[in-house]
């Protein structure tokens, strides 16, 4: 465990110069990067979702591109298309914004189903198919998709198959009052979120990130914790308030996120508390509440906490 502590400390220190507060958001975005998984960010506009991803890409020297989703966005707008080169009379690939490392999909639920399906191949297989030809994406390719939880007009809800491809769903709250005061102070002193170059952020070598990812995969997991993770996933499938439980892919994701949490805590082995911490962000978008539970105002996180309490913790 050499690369993970070094990388985490550096990113936390540098990120604090840009984003005030939102510690959970910053940590979970870092976990997704370490696990090479995709993230669904849910929160109202103006709470630093985009800024965190842009800053993260600079700190690890990864390419960043974004797309603003609209109801008329076509698959070619994100994956690219073949364009006729008049000089050579041959078709040439014009790459779309998915040919990058960190891909921010702003307001993903405004993307029509046909375009969502094109993004699904990118997320699952790290490749795109254009006119029958497959093109590989970056080994660091990660989707950070945002959605607004309070505006539904003109949106297309993400299907369960696509939600299951997101490693984490991060619910981003408003910042604390003290953090907002610090933000105003920083702006008064000249901070400009649109000019990150002026801050002189110190980036790390991408090889350090690759090494940290290898260390995460090497985290030790005991047999009893395999059973613990599976039992949590299986309990969601027959829980009275749920009509859809967590899939086997969700269990795999839970183990990956738990290993990243253990590494950030400085351990090279997993403990039950790592799993408990990882359940809400990993499962909250993969379960479906029954209508009566939804009407009662029960949230997915409340049900998941009940599930955790109902499963026996391994000794």
CATH number at residue 288: 1.10.8.80
The Cα 28–Cα 26 span in angstroms is 6
Q: Taking residues 23-38, what's their average pLDDT?
A: 92
Helix 206-217 with 23-35: angle, nearest 10 deg: 80
Q: Which residues of 185-194 are buried (b: 16+ CB within 10 A; e: fewer)?
A: eeeeeebebe
DSSP H or E run through 111: none
Confidence tier at 117 by pLDDT (50, 70, 90): confident
pLDDT at 93: 85
Do 300 and 169 reside in the same domain of the chain?
A: no
Quick one: 148 and 15 in the same domain? yes
Rounded Cα distance between 205 and 143, Å, is: 21
Mean pLDDT of 75-83: 90
For residues 92 and 265, the model is more confident at 265
pLDDT bin (cut points 50, 70, 90) of residue 86 is confident
Residues 166 and 224 in one domain: no
Is residue 288 helix, strand or coil? strand
Above pLDDT 70, what percent of the chain? 99
> 7 pLDDT band (50/70/90 cuts)?
very high
Who contacts 71 (Cβ-Cβ below 8 Å, separation ≥6)? Answer: 110, 112, 154, 156
User: Helix (H, G, I), strand (E, B), or coil: what is residue 220?
Assistant: strand
Counting residues of the chain whose pLDDT is more than 90, the rounded percentage is 62
Q: Are 19 and 26 in contact (CB under 8 A)?
A: yes
Q: Residue 241 in 3-state DSSP?
A: coil
State how many domains the chain has. Answer: 2
pLDDT exceeds cutoff 90 at 143: yes
For residue 269, the model assigns a pLDDT of 93
- Bridge partners for 244 per DSSP: 288
Instruction: Return the pLDDT at 205.
Output: 86
Q: Which of these three, 151, 181, 212, is where a domain ends? A: 212
Indicate which CATH number applies to the domain containing 90. 3.40.50.300
How far apart, in whole angstroms, are the C-alpha atoms of residue 174 and residue 182? 14
Lowest model confidence (mean pLDDT) among 84-88, 235-239, 251-255: 84-88
Could you tell me the two tokens for 101? Answer: 């490392």
Examine residue 76 and state whether it is found in any structural domain, yes or no.
Answer: yes
Euclidean distance between CA atoms 160 and 84, whole angstroms: 38
Q: Are residues 182 and 271 in the same domain?
A: no
* Selected residue with higher pLDDT from 277 and 198: 277
Positions of E strands within the chain: 38-42, 64-68, 80-85, 90-95, 102-106, 127-130, 133-136, 142-147, 166-171, 242-244, 288-289
In a shared domain, residues 46 and 185? yes
Tell me if 12 is assigned to some domain: yes
**Can you give the residue range of the structural domain that contains 271?**
219-310
Domain assignment of residue 315, yes or no: no
Both tokens of residue 138? 């970056």
pLDDT, mean of residues 111-136 = 88
Structure confidence at residue 14 (pLDDT): 92
The separation between CA 102 and the C-alpha centre of its own chain, rounded to angstroms, equals 10
Residue 294's pLDDT band (cuts 50, 70, 90): confident
Q: Half-sphere exposure of residue 88, counting CA atoms within 13 Å on the CB side?
A: 6
């Amino acid at each position: 465990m050499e690369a993970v502590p070094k990388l985490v400390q550096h990113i936390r220190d540098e990120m604090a110069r840009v984003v005030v507060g939102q510690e959970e958001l910053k940590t979970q975005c870092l976990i997704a990067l370490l696990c090479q998984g995709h993230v669904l960010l849910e929160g109202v506009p103006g709470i630093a979702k985009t800024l965190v991803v842009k800053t993260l890409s600079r700190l690890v020297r990864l390419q960043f591109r974004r797309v603003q989703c609209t109801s008329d966005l076509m698959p070619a707008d994100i994956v690219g298309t073949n364009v006729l080169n008049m000089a050579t009379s041959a078709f040439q690939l014009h790459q779309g914004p998915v040919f990058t490392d960190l891909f921010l999909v702003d307001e993903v639920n405004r993307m029509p189903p046909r375009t969502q399906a094109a993004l699904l191949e990118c997320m699952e297989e790290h490749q795109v198919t254009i006119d029958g030809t497959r093109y590989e994406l970056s080994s660091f390719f990660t989707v950070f998709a945002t959605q607004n939880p309070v505006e539904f007009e003109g949106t297309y809800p993400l299907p369960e198959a696509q939600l299951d491809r997101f490693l984490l769903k991060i619910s981003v709250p408003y910042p604390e009052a003290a953090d907002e005061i610090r933000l105003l102070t920083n702006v008064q002193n000249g901070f400009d979120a649109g000019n990150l170059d002026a801050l002189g952020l110190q980036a790390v070598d991408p090889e350090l990130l690759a090494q940290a990812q290898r260390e995460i995969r090497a985290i030790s997991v005991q047999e009893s914790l395999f059973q613990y993770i599976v039992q949590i996933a299986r309990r969601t499938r027959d829980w009275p308030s749920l009509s859809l439980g967590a899939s086997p892919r969700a269990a795999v994701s839970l183990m990956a996120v738990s290993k990243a949490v253990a590494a950030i805590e400085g351990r090279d082995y997993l403990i039950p508390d790592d799993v408990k911490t990882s359940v809400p962000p990993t499962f909250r978008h993969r379960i479906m509440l029954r209508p009566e539970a939804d009407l009662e105002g029960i949230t997915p996180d409340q049900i998941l906490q009940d599930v955790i309490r109902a499963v026996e913790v391994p000794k």
